[in-house]
Amino acid sequence: MCCVTREDRAAWVEALQAAKDLFPRALTSSDFSPSEDVVISTEKLRSRLVQEGVGETVVKDCESIMLSELSEMQNKLKALQHKHITLLDTLRQLEVLFVLLFTFDLCNNKFEYIQA
């Protein structure tokens, strides 16, 4: 076993607290639920293109392109949300691990690092 002094532990706790402050605990279960699909209307685009005299085939093509691009963006946002949730879960696991690995030895009045 490797002994850790009070100063070492204080530095660890301070670093942990600083990292913890970056991720507030005010999160709820709804923060982790999958986001709802967004409904996009192409009506304004359609109206503008028709007003400019663009044919129906081109209008439909433009709508298709726009919806495809937005779908791709939505997929990327969902992937980022998943990464965010994974990061927060990992940080919580590290916090638990930190608490479990550092225990106070009352007899020796020092902190010991317990190797897992």
pLDDT in tens, 29-42: 555 565 566 678 89
What pLDDT sits at residue 68?
A: 94
* Whether the predicted model's global pTM rises above the 0.75 cut: no
Report how far residue 84's alpha carbon sits from residue 78's, in angstroms, rounded to the nearest whole number.
Answer: 10
pLDDT of 13 strictly over 70: yes
What is the rounded CA–CA span in Å between residue 108 and residue 102? 14
CB-count burial class (<10 Å; 0-12, 13-18, 19+) for 62: middle
